[in-house]
Structure 1
Amino acid sequence: MEDNQDLMRTIQMKFPRLSKGQKLIAEYILKHYDKAAFMTAAKLGSSVGVSESTVVRFANELGFSGYPNLQKELQELIKNKLTTVQRIELANDFISEENALKGVLKSDIENIRATLEKINHKTFEDVVNNIFSAKRIYIIGLRSSTALAEFLGFYLNVILDNVKVVGNGISDIFEQIIRVGEGDLVIGIGFPRYANRTIESLAYAQSRNAKVVAITDSLLSPLASQADYTLIAQSNMASFVDSLVAPLSVINALIIAVGLREKENISDTYNSLEKIWQEYEVYSYKNVDDRY
């Protein structure tokens, strides 16, 4: 099952040899794979009128070691294909107004836990090293990833003096990275649904012999295929809003790791900034009690 695009074809090919109960599961997945991808084995079995064990045997029949692996394959298949309308419908099935807070927080906790298990610590260190060795650093994150790119750029700009956040504006993305080349580092951030301009920008950077880092949800991501280093952050959520909690946590760790190597310079920088912030009243320094 190396290519998840073949999953539906595999189900269709094996259909004649399946048991009666397994055929019910196959029919349901072929018609409603977007919903099945987020169902437990018990929930899927209940929806078609078979036992949980029948669902597990169905997964085995397709060549998977268990149902979780089949479920993961389904999620990989659909994550970049769901329209916003479909995601809203899924959210209605799995998250209600009454349990929205609890459901979303639990999902985000699971995303962080899964990210901690999946992320490669050596790759993380390699990325930090490349940040320090780069002549120039370009950060690209479009659509819903714009906030992540701006956050990373905001803090790296305090620590370093060679950082540029690339985004939609007066000039095109390619015009902003036209001088990228060998010795530079491009950090691309993208999650389903992946922005084509981000993928194209990373491909362009590689063609110019720049080092490329992708912060994305999977090694199967189109961003990862254009990157020298990939930091995995899980963003799965059956909702119309992208869950970017785990990606933000990885970016936060990246900023802190960079900052710890430059702590003396950061202290000097923030001492200067504090004086500027106070002089120009950037922040409110008044105590709440001062209003009375």
Structure 2
Amino acid sequence: MDDSILQTIKTYYPSLSQGQKKVASYLIDHKEEGAIMTASKLGRKVGVSETTVIRLAHVLGFHGYSHMQDAIRSNWLQSSQSPSLGEAVKEVDRFYQVAEQEKRVFSHMMDQLNPDELRKAADYMMNADRVFIGGFGGSYAAAYWFYYALRQLRERVMLSSSEGLMPEDMVDMNERSTVIIFSFPRYRREGKELVDAARKAGASIIAFTDKPLSPVGREADVTITTEERMDTDYHSIAGAVSVSEMVIQTAAGKYGDQVQARQQKIELMYAEQGMFLE
């Protein structure tokens, strides 16, 4: 372990709680494991709570456990002769970075969500004569999930292919229709073309996108965002699915009788066809 960190632990050791002392001693004796363990795992290993581990980091002058661990990793990697440990630490770092990015997406998403917009989206899609769903390239996965979920709630739901809607699909689009578009960077041209077709037909438009002024966001009647005001190039498919799930659950709650009648018919067909193992 780096001498400065070791000296810091020695300086503060007499004032630490018994639990914090156990963590500090373990970090000194097992620096390799301390370099890659999460706070919760380290706590379980030593027999203390995760909170105790985090408090130790603060007592030692770090902003949090991750900052203390970064210092341990950095100095251990410099002195370590074990390539396998170095790779393990790098892999944990990658996992940690993804987890932190997802946490930031969800945090921003919850701060910016407008319940009125979710309810408005539910009304548009449940009261339309037909619903057209589009998602192209990397956005197709979220669009397909929404298509599958919405078909549990209502009939006449159509999904684009990953490359675009066929003219035969769009010919029935009119002012009573609702178009739902998923569009995340890098924005595909097909998404804007679908929105333009919807606007020409007089259909209502719901956009799931990363920010209000994305190419489809600024054209939609309802724009539901996941990464608004985030200063990053990271884009989360998990965020897109989660916010669309909120709209599905809003619709299911508001249109309960209509949804329940359809789901009973679907479940009966599932049973007759023996579709599921359990």
Shorter-chain TM-score range = 0.5 to 0.7
Of 101, 109, 132 in structure 2, the residue corresponding to residue 107 of structure 1 is 101
Aligned length: 188
**One-letter amino acid of the structure 2 residue matched with residue 162 of structure 1:** R
Q: Structure 1 CA distance, aligned partners of 2:249 and 2:272?
A: 27
Deviation at 1:262, TM superposition (A): 3.0
Partner of 2:119: 125
**One-letter amino acid of the structure 1 residue matched with residue 226 of structure 2:** A
Of 200, 222, 235 in structure 2, the residue corresponding to residue 229 of structure 1 is 222
Q: Structure 2 CA distance, aligned partners of 1:257 and 1:135?
A: 19
Partner of 2:200: 207
Report the identity percentage. Answer: 20
Q: Is the 8 A contact 2:177 2:204 kept in 1?
A: yes
Q: Is the 8 A contact 2:128 2:177 kept in 1?
A: yes
Q: What is the DSSP-based 3-state SS (H/G/I as helix, E as strand, rest coil) of the residue aligned with 1:207?
A: helix
Q: Structure 2 CA distance, aligned partners of 1:211 and 1:142?
A: 19
Of 146, 159, 165 in structure 1, the residue corresponding to residue 159 of structure 2 is 165
Aligned counterparts, 1:269-288, within 5 A:
269-285=262-278
Please give the TM-score of this superposition, normalised by the length of structure 2.
0.61
Q: Structure 1 CA distance, aligned partners of 2:111 and 2:264?
A: 37
Of 133, 139, 142 in structure 1, the residue corresponding to residue 133 of structure 2 is 139
1:86-112: CA deviation from partner (whole Å, max 9, x where unpaired): xxxxxxxxx942322222122111101
Q: What is the DSSP-based 3-state SS (H/G/I as helix, E as strand, rest coil) of the residue aligned with 2:205?
A: strand
1:141-173: CA deviation from partner (whole Å, max 9, x where unpaired): 11111111111111111111121112247x854
Partner of 2:238: 245
Q: Structure 2 CA distance, aligned partners of 1:118 and 1:199?
A: 24
Superposed CA RMSD: 2.4
Q: Which runs of 5+ in 2 are unaligned?
A: 1-88
Relative to structure 1, the CA distance from residue 118 to residue 265 in structure 2 (aligned partners, 3 Å threshold; closer, same or farther) is same
Q: Which runs of 5+ in 1 are unaligned?
A: 1-94, 286-292
Partner of 1:197: 190
Q: Is the 8 A contact 1:140 1:149 kept in 2?
A: yes
Please give the TM-score of this superposition, normalised by the length of structure 1.
0.58
Q: Structure 2 CA distance, aligned partners of 1:267 and 1:204?
A: 33
Q: Structure 2 CA distance, aligned partners of 1:168 and 1:245?
A: 18
Radius of gyration: which is bigger? 2
Q: Structure 2 CA distance, aligned partners of 1:253 and 1:149?
A: 14
Deviation at 1:231, TM superposition (A): 0.6
Q: What is the DSSP-based 3-state SS (H/G/I as helix, E as strand, rest coil) of the residue aligned with 2:173?
A: coil
